[in-house]
Structure formats: structure tokens, C-alpha cells
A and B are shown apart, each in its own frame.
Chain A
């Protein structure tokens, strides 16, 4: 049986984000929380693998109490076990502290059974860092392949996988043994069809909650704000300053504006 761990994050939907212009901070009221879109891809892939092979899927997230909703939604994608890491001491974590906390929790879960496949999103759309997946892999001492766009082959008998990884110049076809951590690109997996049964199950689901006191023990100084080497010194909204001239085609002729563009190109040797 294939044993899969998926790590997801609940994020504000940045497409309708509003910023308080005086403080430069996020206005959170009324901003819906969603599962990070790349993590939805990871969940979809896990579900697809579950339908194809026999698999057990564990989903983990670290976040405030409402992150529970993201885990319940994961049950719709066939999650068998859901775990919420929730404690004020975890709060304010940067990527180093986040990867520490997640890796310790995963290590604890692996006392029962080892995972073959770890699925992370390519990046989270709030911070856009793409650092947590590689961070966790390095803490667990397992290989990682980032920007995966396709699973070409998964062989549960010989315990290995062949994937496509997107780079700037093309696609690398890579082979790796289990255990392996993958970070998922958008095109990796389509959304699955979710049966009604899963939706009903999701409504009743309750995550297991881990906090800073247990069931595992953490090094206090590596958690949350305290365990985060990076600090935000300042936030601000980028300013715009008008720098150029504007012409309206109601006032000037098309020939005029075209010749202005031609001048710009000519001055720069582009014609």
C-alpha cells in the first residue's frame, strides 16, 4: 500500500485582497480563506493515486483554529487522516520555523508508519516563497523534486517514481526512489470528481489536533516568531508617480501618435 502525506496551507484569496492604505496591512475582514491552489493540485494528485493504487492519505496543516476547515475540505479529496498543528506558540513562523514544526510532526507520525510520498504545493500564494517543501525535505533527509508537472510512472513494487520537472529551458525527466517529496505545479493533476459520500464524510470529519505541549515535544526556541530568523521591518503599498505624457486620440491624430512611437523605437535602434 502507498502511504501519502499531503501538506496544505489555508491562505487569503489574494485575488480580492484589500490593503489598508494608512497602515499598509492586509484587511482580513471579508477576505475569504481558501486552500492554496497548488495544494489543491497536491490533494487532487493524492486522490487520483488513491483511485489507481491502494493508498492511505494523511493531510497536515499548521494554522489558526479556522484552518480546520481546510482539512475538512481535504476529506472531500479522500483524506483518511487529518491533522491540525495549532498553538499560539506556532504563530508568526517564517519558512524556517514552519518547516521545523511540520518536519517534527511528520517525524512523530512516522513512528507509526513511514510515508512513501510527500506532496507539497509549488508555493503558497500569500507568501510566494516556495521554501517550505525543500525545507521539510532537508530536515527529514529525503530527496525533493520541485516544480513537478507530470507523473510519468509510479511503480509501487519497486518503490520508485518517474516525474517531469519544469525548468527554464525545458522538461527534465527524473527518476527517484521512495521516499520522495514533490512540489506540485498547476498542470500536474486535474480536479477529481468528488462523490457525494465524501462530501458527507467531510462534514462530520474532525481533525486530530497537535499543539506545542503534545503529543510530541518541540524545541521551544525553534517555534513560531521566536524560531524565525527573518523579521518584517516594514510594509508599505507601492506608490505610483506619473512620469510620461498622455495623448487622447480624440484630440490628436493617429498619425501623430504613431510617429511618436516610431521616434521612441528609432532612438533606441529598434527599427
Chain B
């Protein structure tokens, strides 16, 4: 039976949400191929998360448990994943396009001598050929390219987080757990972690429910303090276009778009953002987009669910005032 593999990215026994998103899209691909979804899990003593992986749709889990895998390192993770893929020959192998996932995927594809499509945003099965169609933005999002890998297996892709929804959790479901072993040694890992410096304040843009974003039209760093107040009031995060980041009005970790983050909030509020294609690539999957811009021709209005032609500052101030007023009458 053809298998669609999903790499489960975990750190210290915590699964990266992109792995659930991939389990979801893998179910659709597997059903088109009359195959099944299998998960590949590498780590050390992470049994606790196995039920979670079944609950989100894996029918099988290949689990490689080894002390050398206690934290991510290129050589042992690539070796483990490559050897198991050689043994079981999946048809498709999906990995999240995160820093760790991209690092892993490049190594595994080289060992398997197969193609690897980077940073994919659309996946489907060609009904005529049964091939995986992998679509991705290229040249900074100016064009979309559909890539196939006709003669090599597995067909591999790294997939952007937040493109596909997390599937429904079905806690009752249990599949087959296959414990694997691959010979690994500490010496061959070569790289050693001496320390880890956690981010001071984690900006959790990708998984925020509300994003208040500003672009070049905000005009200054001060503009972002107003947006920050609004974001705080809505318990959301601050987003920005590349030009705003390059003007040093706000840090890079807030950049949304092709070279920044892909987001999928319930509401995306865009102030003074033109909506250049590279920016849209990162936010067009938002459930609802509100855009405020003085230029009625700005491309952001073509994807906005609610567009307002006018000065961003007036709208932002009035909105902040109204929210605070509503809060005070409530409580």
C-alpha cells in the first residue's frame, strides 16, 4: 500500500503544530492514492506524544528512539530518517518548512537521491498520472510554480506552516506503532549543543488569532506604538510589511510575507500596507482581512473582506477608543 509520510517535528516532546497540519493534508492525498498516512517520529523518550499523532490521523507511526536524538542535530536525524525511508519506501514524504524541517529535508533528499520541493503552499494528486503536484511561490512570490517529481521516490516537499488547517482531533483512534532501530553514535553527530538562549519575548505571529499589521503608510516608528496598543487590547500580535521592517520601525520577527511569516489569524487588520504580492503571500489565508489605505487602487483591497479608503491613523484611533469604551461599559 502506498504510504504518505509526515515527519513529526518535536522538541523536548512538544510537537510543532505544522506536523498536525501535514497530517491533515496527508489524509486527503492518501485517500486520492488509496493509500495510508504514516508518521515518522524521531526523538528520545517521547512516547507521551504517540497518542496525539494517532488522534490527528496517522494510521502507522514509525518511531526511532535513541539518546543521540535527544535534541535535533543534522547528522543523526538525517541518518535515521533516510534509513527508514529507504527501508519502507514511502510514495510521498512531507516535512514542515521550519528551520529544523528544512535543515533535515535537504539532507534526507540528498541521501535518497530524490527531488525536494521547497516551501510548498499547495498540494494535490494529478488524477491522470497519480503524481504529486507541488505548488510554490518563486521569485519572491511573483510567480507560482507547480513542480512534479515523476521518476524518483519519495516525492518530497517541505510545506509552509499555517497553509493547511489543523484537522479534527479524534481521540479514540489508535493505529499501529512500529518501533525501529538504526545504529547511531554520539561521535558521528559531530555537533554539540553547549547552551540554548530562549527568545526574550516570543512573538507568536503564526498562531495569533488577531494580527494588527502596519506598512510603509504608517510613516514612522511612533505609528507602531498606536498599533501596539490596539494589538494589546485585542490580545493579538503586531505584524509588519517588509518595508516597515527595513525602515527599522519594528523587528524582523514581525514581518509577514514571502520572506517573513505565513499567518492565518481570524482577523488581519492591515494599516497602510499596499499589499505587494510578497506580503499577500503571507496573509491571504487569514479568515477575515480588514484593510485601511489612502490609495483606493492599493492591491490589498483586492483581497480585503472589508476595505476602508482613508487615513489609517484616524481609523486606528477611533477603533482603539471604541474598544476601550465597550470594555468599560461591559465591566
B28 within 8 A of A: no
Q: Which of A168-189 contact B (CB under 8 A)?
A: 168-177, 180
Is the CB–CB distance between A260 and B306 below 8 Å? yes
Is the CB–CB distance between B209 and A230 below 8 Å? no
A144 within 8 A of B: yes
Interface flags, B87-107, vs A, CB<8A=1, else 0: 000000000001110110111
Is the CB–CB distance between A264 and B150 below 8 Å? no
Give which listed residue, A128, A133, A250, A271, contacts B326 with CB less than 8 A. A271
Beyond A96-B110, A138-B110, A139-B110, is A229–B149 a contact (Cβ under 8 Å)? yes
Beyond A173-B197, A270-B267, is A262–B326 a contact (Cβ under 8 Å)? yes
Is the CB–CB distance between B307 and A247 below 8 Å? yes
A95 within 8 A of B: yes
Q: Which of A117-172 contact B (CB under 8 A)?
A: 125-135, 137-139, 143-147, 162, 164, 166-172
Q: Which of A1-59 contact B (CB under 8 A)?
A: 12, 14-15, 17, 19, 24-26
- Residue from B110, B144, B267, B307 whose CB has the most chain A CB atoms within 10 Å: B110
Q: How large is the interface on B (under 10, 10 to 19, 20 to 34, 35 or more residues)?
A: 35 or more
By secondary structure, the B interface counts as mixed
Query: Could you say which residues of chain B place their CB within 8 Å of the CB of A171?
Result: 196-197
B331 within 8 A of A: no
Is the CB–CB distance between A131 and B116 below 8 Å? yes
| Shortest beta-carbon distance from A108 to chain B in Å | 19
Give the docked Cα–Cα distance between A19 and B278 (Å).
Answer: 14
Query: Could you say which residues of chain A place their CB within 8 Å of the CB of B137?
Result: 238
Q: Which of B190-210 contact A (CB under 8 A)?
A: 190-199, 202, 209-210
A231 within 8 A of B: yes
By secondary structure, the A interface counts as mixed
Q: How large is the interface on A (under 10, 10 to 19, 20 to 34, 35 or more residues)?
A: 35 or more
A242 within 8 A of B: yes
> Which residue of the partner chain B has the closest CB to A253?
B318
Is the CB–CB distance between B315 and A257 below 8 Å? yes
Is the CB–CB distance between B190 and A167 below 8 Å? no
Of B41-49, B60-68, B169-177, B296-304, which stretch is located at the interface?
B296-304
Q: Which of A218-254 contact B (CB under 8 A)?
A: 228-238, 240-250, 254
| Shortest beta-carbon distance from B279 to chain A in Å | 12
Is the CB–CB distance between B115 and A229 below 8 Å? yes
> Which residue of the partner chain A has the closest CB to B306?
A244
Q: Which of B228-247 contact A (CB under 8 A)?
A: 234-235
Give which listed residue, B106, B139, B150, B277, contacts A135 with CB less than 8 A. B106
Interface flags, B131-156, vs A, CB<8A=1, else 0: 00100011111111111111110000
Q: Which 4 A-B pairs have the closest CB atoms?
A: A249-B310, A134-B106, A229-B115, A230-B115
A235-B143, A244-B289, A244-B301 known; 15 new pairs, CB 8 Å cut-off, are A94-B115, A130-B118, A131-B106, A131-B109, A134-B107, A135-B107, A144-B74, A170-B197, A172-B196, A177-B190, A230-B117, A242-B301, A247-B308, A249-B314, A258-B315
Question: Please, could you name 18 A-B residue pairs with CB atoms under 8 Å apart, sorted by A?
Answer: A19-B143, A132-B106, A135-B106, A138-B78, A144-B103, A168-B100, A169-B202, A170-B197, A173-B195, A233-B146, A244-B306, A245-B306, A246-B304, A248-B309, A254-B310, A258-B318, A264-B288, A265-B234
